[in-house]
Amino acid sequence: MEIRQLEYFSVLCEELHFTKAAEKMGITQPTLSHQIKALEDDLGVPLFDRIGKKTAITEAGMILYKQCKLIFSNLLSARDQIQELQNIERGTLAIGALPGELNQLVSSLLLEFHRNYPKIRIKIIGTEDIVNLILQNELDFAITILPLEDERISKIALYKERFYFAATPDHPFANNSAINFDEIKGTPFIMFPESHRCRQLIDLTCSTAGFKLQPLIETTTIESLFGLVRSGAGATILSKTLLEMYNNGDLIMIPIENPALCREIGIVFHRDKHIGKAAKGFIDILTTHVEKLRENSQEEYCDNA
């Protein structure tokens, strides 16, 4: 069994088409077929079912494919670690973040990181599918909402923060120092859609309280959400970070109580992935930035909510 054969095999698993896989690898289709046949003979089992023009992975093939991904990931990790020993600080750092304020948080630190690591190329990927990309080794690490239950993923807690009721100063609740959660029933809301992680937290709390939130308007963009709230179309419930980022002082922010709505933000990465010098550098910048924000904050975090 050779690494080259495993590379051919992995590409064929992804393409499920001998001609397309051969073109992708820059070899002829007969060469690919010969290498796959040699691999099957070596293992003593068929790796693909060939039915007419269709190609399907067998159960044995799927086992080998999963192990191949681990092998290639470990080889890449070994190369990264060896390069660091030689003080070669090149390459690409791929960082994932939930769309919205977490993506903005990461992006705001790019200039400082670039000063420290000018040879590193950086990719910021805004996605809701954090777990899958981490497990597929497509991200070095990601910023997301915790908890995240998967034993294959390691976590570093960053901070906890409240959610606030936000509206225009002429809203009926504007003079309230706090709002009990059950008071929001029947209020016209402008919200992110149900697929948004922050919305899911709010919906879960509503469900526990015995009612379902039915927003007047749902929007996927931050700009349109704030525009609609400013127009008086309705109120919203958002994280402290997002409100401070987009509130120009023309919206009131009221804490929600009984229960307080809180979320925890953290860094996640594959448990078996080598965290290189550049990734550690960005994580250090991020944690220092968050600590400074906490020190300068005039409000309590969820720890004391």
Do both 149 and 169 map to the same domain?
Answer: no
Residue 268: strand pairing partners: 142, 155
Do both 110 and 77 map to the same domain?
Answer: no
Do both 32 and 18 map to the same domain?
Answer: yes
Do both 269 and 138 map to the same domain?
Answer: yes
From 84, 110, 142, the end of a domain falls on 84
pLDDT at 304: 42
The answer to whether the pTM exceeds 0.75 is no
Do both 62 and 189 map to the same domain?
Answer: no
| H/E run at residue 255 | strand 252-257
- CATH number where 77 lies: 1.10.10.10
Q: SS3 helix, strand, coil % of the chain, rounded to 5?
A: 45, 25, 30
Do both 153 and 272 map to the same domain?
Answer: yes
CB 57 within 8 A of CB 48: yes
Do both 127 and 273 map to the same domain?
Answer: yes
Angle, helix 59-85 to helix 3-15, in steps of 10 degrees: 120
- Which residues of the chain, if any, have pLDDT below 50? 300, 304-305
Do both 165 and 257 map to the same domain?
Answer: yes
Question: Domain span at residue 8?
Answer: 3-84
pLDDT at 256: 93
Do both 168 and 247 map to the same domain?
Answer: yes
Do both 249 and 168 map to the same domain?
Answer: yes
CA distance 280 to 68: 27
pLDDT at 50: 84
From 21, 52, 84, the end of a domain falls on 84
Per-residue b or e along 219-235, where b marks 16 or more CB atoms closer than 10 Å to that residue's CB: beebeebbebbbeeebb
Domain count, the chain: 3
Cβ burial, residue 45 (10 Å; 0-12/13-18/19+) = middle
